[in-house]
Structure 1
Amino acid sequence: YSITQPNEKNRLRLEFESSEAFWERLKIRHRIEEKNGEMKVAHGLDRADTVGLVAMRLQTYFTAFVVNVKRIVKLNELKAV
């Protein structure tokens, strides 16, 4: 068998992953990934409409805009009740 000796970069990464700061950032990342998943599944961001990086960037911006507007409308409805 072999024992892997992690290099300095990997050792620092492993130390960071065992820290409290990493777990706090991971909690935030979960919420962000949830929104990204919603945009892919429910709003068509899983498939590019056109060709090119600029077009994909625009599609992403518009999709994020729509998701945010829907969220604002929903929050305003909750406040009105």
Structure 2
Amino acid sequence: MNQTQRPLEVACPECSKKVVWSEKNPDRPFCSERCRLLDLGAWADGNRRIAGEPAMDETEIDEMIMRAERGLQDSE
């Protein structure tokens, strides 16, 4: 990196503190291990999730397979 280029700074996803994006920070993009663990806990509790359709449970999958198999048998 040349002398005039500033290091990339990002906001910690947990507390919004500015963090230098560097290999020297093992917790990046978080500012600390504490913020990293708080974020992990929020995902584990289900407080954070990726938007989308809910996943099907095994019963729904089994029913879908049985309907498909019946459809194939009826068409033969």
TM-score where L is the length of structure 2: 0.27
Bigger share in helix: 1
Q: TM-score, normalization: structure 1?
A: 0.26
User: Which has the larger share of strand?
Assistant: 2
